[in-house]
Amino acid sequence: MRKAFSLLLILCLLALPAASFAAALAADPAATTVEMSDVLYGLFFEDINHAADGGLYAELLQNRSFENQDLLDPKPHQRYNGWQFNLKNKGKAAAVPATEAPLNENNPTYMRITIEKAPYLLSNMGYASTAFSGGVPVEEGMQYDFSVWMRNPGDYTGGITVAITDRSANPLSESFTIAPAGEWQKFEHTFTSQATADACLTVTMEGTGSIDIDMASLMPRERFGAEWPGGGLRTDLVETLRALNPRFLRFPGGCVAEGSYVRANVYNWKDTVGPVEQRRENFNTWGYMQSYGIGFFEYFCLAEALGAEPLPVVHAGLLCQAREVREAPLTLEETRAYGQDILDLIEFATGDATTEWGGLRAQMGHPEPFRLNYLAIGNENWDNIYFDRYAILSEMVKASYPEITCIVAAGPVAEGALPQHSWQQIRSRFAEDLVDEHYYMDSDWFLRNTGRYDRYPRTTQVFLGEYAAHEPVIGGRRPNNLYSALCEAAYMTAIERNSDLVQIACYAPLMAREGMFQWTPDLIWFNAREVLLTPNYYVQQMFAATVGDHVVESTLEGENLYHVVTRTEDKLYVKVVSLSESETPLTLTLAGVPDGTAETVQLTGEKRMQNALTAPDRIAPVTGGCTISGGVAECVLPAYSVTIFTFPLAQ
Ligand code: AHR
């Protein structure tokens, strides 16, 4: 009998959900601690994973300018990337990348097609010329702005037409006729697509002789920033960025800003401004060419459009220290000379239209100066080889622009001798500057290290310029799952608690094109038509929408919970992250908070769950309410969740 009872008890216990321990959070909104940064959350945009070319940039054609190359292995065939020749197989021609009498000196390569037998077809397949689906994505009834530069070097006779076609060269739009003369000339037309398809852009040459082609471009008419010289951005991706409510935009990298292997690869902001056909393309440190259709002007415009502080990163005279370096850094003398480029950048952004570089900005369509309060000199740099160059460059900036906050790099890792040495140097030489920390660590590291910034001296402020919680690789990529997002959320409660010290924090990398990525995890995934938001994205979005201006003193009793309480004049934000595997009843005791209902936003799901293009909303924030009466509110936190409560405060 006794045995049977024990068995029954065990069975009953097994049937119960895992034990749930009640938790209690208490805060008094009148008891504030530190003032919070008003630029805490923002974006780090780098052209990695085709975030710019093949991503945010509205250009649908790949290698439009025939400049593609691999820095370490510049074989001529790379100039053909993105293009297909003689699709209908009816013509005969020699198609050769040529450099004699180019469009301009910054755009040295064009395609010379010498046709023996017509018709000869030249087609751009967009970003589908490798083994994955896609192409030039067109929608029935939508318009597409086309342009191309062409020249008839002398002996071409016959017609030339251009159309959007399917991948067998059957027309999907009206055709546009071109008659090039002996000099380079730009031709433009707006096509209307007759179908929704993964298409291509096809130039049909009906005659014989030679034709020169360069800078072919096709962009959806509906795009963001069409008036910018670069041509504009993909609207859906811009809106995805806007929804993160970013307070700053860090650009253009990352390693991209530093360049790899040889000096010719460093990112030179001057190559990225002016008319788009005059921008000197460069190989991307992530393995592809940068068209610079999104150049520094466009970055500043984007920051302005998003209401974000622009935060440019310039190199410090060193190639990416994390990669093999084949050329010496700039000497200290050369570094001083290079410093003028940085001063020119500041003039480009903020100088009036009568100055040389401010004048270029005005010509490009922005006579008013841009904001510029921050400037990072260096990305992931360390050691005295960097700090000596940083000293020269930051002194030059401060001497002319004392109002700009310079940002100094502390290296690419979270712990150990390297950052210790960096911090030692920085504290003794650059204590007033903002310090750029980068770390990509496993998810649990973030939970173990929520006390990191509690221990930092308050003398020098931090810019957490790159971070992400990394999960083990599955199927060739590190997943963006709920667990990693919650570990980041837990860490972000600590960032907020320390936001007198941590002025700025941004997740990295920001975007990745499905099938064309070099780095995982990433905050936003996309393909030619769709955008996929990750749990990590939603955490960033939820936190950025509820930044207070002061941290509020608070206590939380409970297991596997992380929290922060902040406030503005009229709102109290309570953020609670639960890493518990069972639900947790929570009592909130909030002194003086008026009776009523708090809005709640919650993200929860299975621990390792991810969103996918086929199931984009598996993990998505859900809004709800929570009543408070007599300063007490009760709720139940789901297992693996983050909940943000917004309580109205009496004014
Ligand atoms: O965010 C991806 C890369 O990580 C950045 O380019 C670099 O700064 C870091 O190593």
How confident is the model over 285-337, as pLDDT tens digits? 999 999 999 999 999 999 999 999 999 999 999 999 999 888 999 999 999 99
Lowest mean pLDDT among 36-45, 68-77, 333-342, 471-480: 68-77
pLDDT at position 16 over 60: no
Please tell me the residue having the least CA distance from ligand 1 atom 9.
254
Nearest CA to ligand 1 atom 7: 254
Distance CA 117, CA 112 (A): 15
pLDDT higher than threshold 70 for residue 15: no
Residue 118 has pLDDT above 60, yes or no: yes
Residue 76, pLDDT score: 85
Q: What is the pLDDT of residue 5?
A: 41
Distance 254 CA to ligand 1 centre (A): 5
Sorted by sequence, the CB contacts under 8 Å of residue 413 that are 6+ apart come out as 419, 438, 439
Local confidence band at 4 (pLDDT 50, 70, 90 cut-offs): very low
Kindly give the pairing relationship between strand 120-124 and strand 197-205: antiparallel
Ligand 1, atom nearest to 286 Cα: 6
- Looking from the CA of residue 412, the nearest atom of ligand 1 is 10
Which ligand 1 atom sits nearest the alpha carbon of residue 322?
10
Q: Is 90 exceeded by the pLDDT of residue 544?
A: yes
Per-residue pLDDT band at 71 (split at 50, 70, 90): confident
Q: Ligand 1: does its nearest atom lie under 6 Å from the Cβ of 508?
A: yes
Q: Which residue's CA is the closest to the ligand 1 atom numbered 8?
A: 254
**Would the pLDDT of 6 be above 80?**
no
Element of type H or E holding 512:
strand 511-513
Instruction: Give the nearest ligand 1 atom to 509 CA.
Output: 1
Asked whether residue 129 carries a pLDDT value surpassing 90, the answer given is no
**Mean pLDDT (whole number) for 93-105:** 98
pLDDT at 312: 98
Whether 381 has a pLDDT exceeding 90, the answer reads yes
Query: Can you name the residues that pair with 177 across neighbouring β-strands?
Result: 161
How remote is the C-alpha of 146 from its chain's centroid?
Answer: 27
pLDDT for the residue numbered 20? 58
Per-residue pLDDT of 408-430, as tens digits, reads 999 999 999 999 999 999 999 99
CB of 479 shorter than 6 A to ligand 1: no
Confidence of residue 14 (pLDDT cuts 50, 70, 90): very low
Give the residue, by CA position, lying nearest to ligand 1 atom 4: 254
Cα 227–chain centre separation: 22
Tens digit of each residue's pLDDT (9 = 90 or more) over 242-283: 999 999 999 999 999 999 999 999 999 999 999 999 999 999
Ligand 1 neighbour 506 (Cβ under 6 A) = no
Top mutation candidate among 44, 45, 48, 510 for ligand 1, by most atoms within 8 Å of CB = 48
Confidence (pLDDT) at 74: 83
The reply to whether 35 belongs to the active site is no
pLDDT of residue 12: 41
Our answer on whether the CB atom of 378 is closer than 6 Å to any ligand 1 atom is no
- 574 Cα to the center of ligand 1, angstroms: 32
Nearest to 501 by CA among 546, 465, 544, 455: 455
Mean pLDDT on 28-43:
97
- Ligand 1 centroid to Cα of residue 465, in Å, is 10
- Kindly indicate the confidence band of residue 470, based on its pLDDT and cuts at 50, 70 and 90: very high
Ligand 1 pocket, 48 CB below 6 A? Answer: yes
Q: With a 6 A CB cut-off, is 412 part of the ligand 1 pocket? A: yes
Output the residue whose Cα is nearest ligand 1's atom 1.
Answer: 509
**Catalytic residue from among 281, 380, 437, 488:** 380
Mutate to test the pocket of ligand 1, among 438, 507, 518 (most ligand atoms within 8 A of CB): 438
Q: pLDDT of 191-239, one tens digit each?
A: 999 999 999 999 999 999 999 999 999 999 999 999 999 999 999 999 9
Whole-number average pLDDT of the chain: 95
Of 161, 151, 149, 147, which is closest to residue 205 (Cα–Cα)?
Answer: 161
- Tell me, using a 6 A CB cutoff, whether residue 379 lines ligand 1: yes
Ligand 1 centroid to residue 478 C-alpha, Å: 15
pLDDT at 133: 55
Given this model, what pLDDT does residue 626 score? 97
pLDDT for 7 beyond 50: no
**Measured between alpha carbons, how far is 277 from 274 in angstroms, rounded to an integer?**
8
> Is 254 near ligand 1, meaning CB less than 6 Å away?
yes
Under 8 Å CB-to-CB from 636, ≥6 apart: which residues?
583, 584, 585, 586
Distance of CA 345 to CAs 272, 313, 329, Å?
Answer: 11, 11, 21
Q: Is the CB of 380 under 6 A from ligand 1?
A: yes
pLDDT exceeds 80 at position 17:
no
H helix count then E strand count, the chain:
11, 33
Gap between the Cα atoms of 215 and 107, Å rounded: 9
Q: Compute the half-sphere exposure of residue 186: CA atoms within 13 Å on the CB side of its CA.
A: 9
10 pLDDT higher than 80: no
DSSP conformational letter for 449? T
Confidence bin at 134 (pLDDT 50/70/90): low
Q: Which pLDDT tens digit goes with each residue over 355-364? A: 999 999 999 9
| 522 in contact with ligand 1, CB cutoff 6 A | no
Smallest CA separation from ligand 1 atom 3, residue: 254
Position 453 scores a pLDDT of 98
Is residue 509 within 6 Å of ligand 1 at its C-beta? yes
Q: Whose CA is nearest to atom 6 of ligand 1?
A: 254
Tell me the whole-structure pTM to 2 decimals.
0.95
Ligand 1 mean position to 255 CA, how many Å? 6
Average pLDDT over residues 125-149: 84
For the chain, the first-to-last Cα distance in angstroms comes to 65
285 C-alpha to center of ligand 1: Å? 10
441 lines ligand 1 (CB under 6 A): no
Quick check: 18 pLDDT over 60? no
Atom of ligand 1 nearest to the CA of 465: 8
Residue 270's φ and ψ, nearest 5 degrees, are -70, -25
46 lines ligand 1 (CB under 6 A): yes
**Pocket flag, ligand 1, residue 466 (CB < 6 Å):** yes
